[in-house]
Amino acid sequence: LRPFFTIEAGRIFDADEGSLLRAACAIECVHTYSLVHDDLPCFDDAAMRRGVPSVHHKFGQPLAVLTGDALIVLAFETLAHDVELTPQKLASLLMIVCRATGMPHGIAAGQAWELEETIPLRQYQRAKTGALFVAATTAGAVAADANPAEWTALGELIGEAYQIADDIRDAVSTMEEIGKPVFQRLHRALAL
């Protein structure tokens, strides 16, 4: 979904397809890193992801950590290889992906909230899920020379809706239906 929103936001303004695809790929690399790390024993300890063994379950924890780290680097490398981007666009895209990945409001921050005794739900959802949807919509706008600020609210709303739907699905589905362990987040929330 995230790459889709990047591409569609840019297509509205007839952005260069190559730049849109590279931005979308960078965002998906960050998303995939987050899933690999989220499945680790120190977080969700999920043996399955999308119906197949998680990376750490199949290849071990050290390779899972390195895989996630390599995907982060690949995201930035993908953006850096875009020769069509002006220096200003490249700097803007790099900042968008940095903010969505790190602290204090990106995926790393969202993951850190899971280590706390109490979780401010809206702040957690915006970091854990919303940050990358914001990155998706704003990156598409930047690639098209549009104002990214006008796309922030859309990304936030999509991210919040997605996280709520994912939490509901986690609570009412079976592992066979969604391809990963269920009740993970619910059990953590009840334990708090």
Over the stretch 108-136, which tens digit does the pLDDT of each residue have?
999 998 888 888 888 888 888 999 999 99
Report residue 59: phi and psi, to 5°. Answer: -120, -5
Q: Would you state the structure tokens that stand for residue 19, as one six-digit string?
A: 């730049």
User: Residue 21 and residue 133: Cα distance in Å, rounded?
Assistant: 16
- DSSP structure class, residue 14: T
For residue 90, what are the contacts with CB-CB under 8 A and spacing of at least 6?
79, 80, 82
Per-residue model confidence (pLDDT) at position 170: 83
Residue 2, exposed/middle/buried by CB under 10 A (0-12, 13-18, 19+)?
buried
pLDDT in tens, 26-81: 999 999 999 999 999 999 899 999 889 999 999 999 999 999 999 999 999 999 98
pTM, rounded to two decimals: 0.89
Residue 184 has a pLDDT of 58
Cβ(40)–Cβ(50) below 8 Å:
no
Q: Over the range 32-58, which residues count as b (16 or more CB within 10 Å of their CB) and which as e?
A: bbbbbbbbbeeebebebbeeeebbbbe
157: its two tokens:
């709303």
State the residue for tokens 């981007």: 85
Contact 150, 141 (CB under 8 A): yes
Cis peptide before 120 (omega within 30 of 0): no
92 three-class SS: helix
